[in-house]
Amino acid sequence: MLDNVFIYQDNSVNNALQQVAANSDFCIEVMETDKDHVHLLVSAPPKMSPLQIVRKLKQETTYRIWKEKESVLRRIYWRERTFWTDGYFVSTIGNVSQ
């Protein structure tokens, strides 16, 4: 598990998430990472569902992180190229007018 901690500590996850957002229709406003999870506050147009955003972030960051850290990840996930778990939690917020 120390290898996973290394990946989070060297900003690979943060950088990959920011790169995906920079090439997408949404923006990561706030990001907090821990050794085994990530919290994001994302700003997106109403046409994008939370599922679309999560799917894009998970798929593209998995590809990017594996490309950058394959030697480390192969020792942890030797059967398949995975990085994230299947689950996620989403809560939406909106603008409040006075």
Q: Give the whole-angstrom CA distance, residue 98 versus residue 81.
A: 48
- For residues 74-86, one letter each, b for 16 or more C-beta atoms within 10 angstroms of the residue's C-beta and e for the rest, the string is eeeeeeeeebbee
Highest mean pLDDT out of 7-16, 23-32, 82-91:
23-32
Q: Would residue 90 be called left, alpha or beta, if left means φ above 0 and alpha means ψ between -120 and 50 degrees?
A: beta
Confidence of residue 1 (pLDDT cuts 50, 70, 90): very low
Task: Note the pLDDT of residue 3.
Answer: 47
Instruction: Please give the residue range of the domain that contains residue 17.
Output: 2-76
CATH number at 65 reads: 3.30.70.1290
Tokens of 47: 């046409």
Q: Into how many domains does the chain fold?
A: 1
Rounded mean pLDDT of 2-15? Answer: 64
Who's near 47: CB < 8 A, 6+ residues apart?
A: 25
The string of pLDDT tens digits covering residues 45-97 is 999 999 999 999 999 999 999 998 888 888 888 778 888 888 999 998 876 55
- Domain annotation covers residue 39: yes
Task: Note the pLDDT of residue 16.
Answer: 93
Read off the DSSP letter of residue 23.
Answer: T
